[in-house]
A = this chain, B = another copy of it.
């Protein structure tokens, strides 16, 4: 099914991987280059950047891959089956649309697009052509997030009660977007990825502050109401010299704590949930013990592989192309994240009033 996209099979008898081009040699591009090169599923053919010396630097001095500043040449290459776009969000729509129109599968860095309407345009363009549109929600391919999704799917956490996430980055104030658009896509894509079927965000309330006069929110809080009365809350923050990346997920049976900066114990699953016995019926001894205890119930910290998420993501992209099946973080997932971000911006303007989402999960276009 994807053969007409690949063009004619390579003359060589050995099966070549999918021809791929990386666009954008900034911060993330070199990581894509490295991982496409390491994958047997792909054959990296181009590294494209408007500034060709950036493209060259991304490849290094010992590479057989071609650097170019001419996107048209990349799209014209019949050996290129897929394009990976790692440029600023504002350019996603045009670059991705051109690639889709040229019959290429597309991988886009997060966020999918600079707005909901643009994102929907991409989703529709890909679906019309039967092409894969994937959003590089990298975190969803970490062993930790995969573990969390599986644990929730298995029912071991029980019903989801709350999710609380904190992401504090090293004080790098972005010039064009606020802290919500800069950092929350990571966490919102994770939420989207791990929620069990039938559960979805309904509305979002956003609070922000710009105490340093940067001209946009540097500290942000998102509160999402989910189906079933659960709550998800996100704290994103630029104003700290120290990183924090934790997510707590409370279920009716267990509670999970993910600390991404603790490599020796990224995930801890706590055994017991809340005690619903009214305190009045608890003995004073029990209450006293709960007051001085640090936790109740055992904790299990599963062993997680140390595997590069981007490697897994790249393989998922290949699988999606080769099987014609949407990848776990397809364009629609990217769109749902942009939906929340756009609604959050509206809530910020409304001084924190909750804003209903446009609601795309599980609906067809």
Contacts and interface: CB of A to CB of B under 8 A. Distances in A.
A50 interface: no
Most buried by B among A164, A207, A229, A295: A295
Contacts of A244: 248
A240 interface: yes
A241 B242 CA distance: 25
Contact of A239 (B250, B268, B294): B250
Given A65-B62, A209-B230, A212-B276, A255 B242 contact: yes
Nearest to A63: B62
B242 A170 contact: no
Q: Which of A208, A231, A298 has the most CB of B within 10 A?
A: A231
Given A44-B62, A209-B230, A219-B161, A305 B289 contact: yes
Interface string A126-162: 0000000000000000000000000000000001111
A175 B273 contact: no
Contacts of A214: 276
A205 interface: yes
A237 B255 CA distance: 12
Contacts of A297: 241, 303
A303 B214 CA distance: 25
Interface in A248-300: 248, 250, 252, 254-255, 257, 261, 263-265, 268, 270-276, 278-280, 282, 284, 287-300
Contact of A275 (B61, B173, B228): B173
Interface stretch (A2-10, A112-120, A337-345, A349-357): A349-357
Quick one: copies of this chain in the complex? Answer: 4
Contacts of A273: 171, 239, 241
Nearest to A65: B62
Contact of A241 (B65, B241, B282, B296): B296
A301 B298 contact: yes
A263 B294 contact: yes
Interface in A211-245: 211-214, 218-219, 221, 223, 225, 228-231, 233, 235, 237-244
Contact of A306 (B161, B239, B292, B301): B292
Nearest to A305: B289
Given A60-B38, A172-B290, A295-B242, A212 B352 contact: no
A168 to B, nearest CB: 8
Given A44-B62, A207-B223, A278-B173, A162 B239 contact: yes
Contact of A170 (B228, B235, B293): B293
B241 A295 contact: yes
A287 B248 CA distance: 29
A328 interface: no
Identify the 4 closest CB pairs spanning chains A and B, nearest first.
A171-B274, A209-B231, A161-B211, A242-B295
Given A170-B296, A240-B255, 20 more contacts: A27-B291, A63-B63, A64-B64, A161-B209, A161-B219, A171-B274, A173-B275, A173-B279, A207-B233, A209-B230, A211-B228, A238-B274, A239-B274, A241-B295, A242-B299, A243-B295, A263-B263, A293-B303, A299-B301, A299-B303
